[in-house]
């Protein structure tokens, strides 16, 4: 699975209620800078510059597996929320069926076939210089604040696109993992592929909330 995000250049500084909003409510709006004091002006202006510099495109590449209604609803909801901050693209590729009691050799062949499909889309869709995260159980673990800071730092260093790769049920091949700039782990636990999409999108959304100084659950 491949996810692509494009950063919006404007942010709302007030807490936002997503429970009852129309689609038009998610259109970009100009950031408000308070003129009450010079100190507030300086802080707000500097912060706005940081937000504008954050990576604006997020691309998610993953396998096109069947989603349950609550997975689809959650993905749609977080995609809508993220539209206030960035452009998100989700690209699905066909997965390779794994026979029961497959040998290690067969499993390796499946991983390589799946890697070829992901790399083909990655080379086609990712911009030059894009930063690639590969979700892997043995990857680096971030807390939410650390991930937010990582995304922010990528943007301020000139990275305009961030890519997240989600492999199949057998994981990723070594060739695919080597293509990534960072292996990202959400825990030592194993999650269903469909649920992992939701978890990833929620954490990316949370990252932007943290960057923007907006309330979030700790």
Q: Domain for residue 46, yes or no?
A: no
Supply the pLDDT for residue 67.
78
Q: In angstroms, what CA-CA distances link 189 with 141, 168, 186?
A: 12, 15, 8
158: domain CATH number? 3.40.1280.10
Other CB atoms closer than 10 Å to residue 120's CB: what's the count? Answer: 12
Residues whose CB is less than 8 angstroms from the CB of residue 21 and which lie 6 or more positions away in sequence, other chains included = none
Q: Measured between alpha carbons, how far is 62 from 141 in angstroms, rounded to an integer?
A: 20
Containing domain of residue 60, as a range?
A: 2-7+55-208
Inter-residue contact 163 to 114 (CB < 8 Å): no
User: What is the total count of domains within the chain?
Assistant: 1
Condensed to tens digits (0 to 9), the pLDDT of residues 140-188 reads: 999 999 999 999 999 999 999 999 999 888 899 999 999 999 999 999 9
* pTM: predicted TM-score of the whole model, two decimal places: 0.74
Q: Measured between alpha carbons, how far is 164 from 100 in angstroms, rounded to an integer?
A: 29
Which parts of the chain have pLDDT scores under 70?
Answer: 1-56, 65, 218
Q: Measured between alpha carbons, how far is 160 from 9 in angstroms, rounded to an integer?
A: 12
């Amino acid at each position: 699975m491949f996810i692509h995000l494009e950063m919006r250049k404007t942010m709302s500084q007030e807490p936002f209620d997503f429970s009852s909003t129309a689609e038009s409510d998610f259109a970009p709006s100009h950031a408000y800078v308070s003129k009450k004091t010079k100190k507030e002006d300086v802080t707000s202006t500097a912060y706005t510059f940081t937000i504008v510099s954050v990576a604006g495109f997020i691309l998610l590449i993953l396998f096109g597996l069947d989603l349950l209604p609550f997975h689809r609803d959650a993905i749609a909801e977080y995609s809508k929320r993220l539209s206030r901050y960035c452009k998100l693209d989700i690209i699905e590729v066909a997965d390779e069926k794994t026979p029961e009691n497959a040998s290690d050799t067969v499993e390796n062949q499946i991983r390589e076939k799946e890697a070829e499909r992901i790399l083909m889309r990655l080379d086609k869709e990712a911009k030059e210089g894009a930063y690639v995260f590969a979700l892997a159980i043995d990857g680096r673990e971030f807390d939410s604040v650390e991930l937010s800071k990582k995304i922010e730092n990528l943007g301020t260093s000139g990275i305009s696109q961030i890519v997240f790769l989600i492999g199949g049920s057998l994981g990723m091949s070594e060739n695919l993992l080597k293509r990534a700039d960072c292996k990202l782990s959400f825990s030592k636990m194993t999650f269903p592929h469909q649920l992992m999409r939701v978890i990833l999108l929620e954490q990316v959304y949370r990252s932007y909330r943290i960057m923007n100084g907006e309330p979030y659950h700790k």
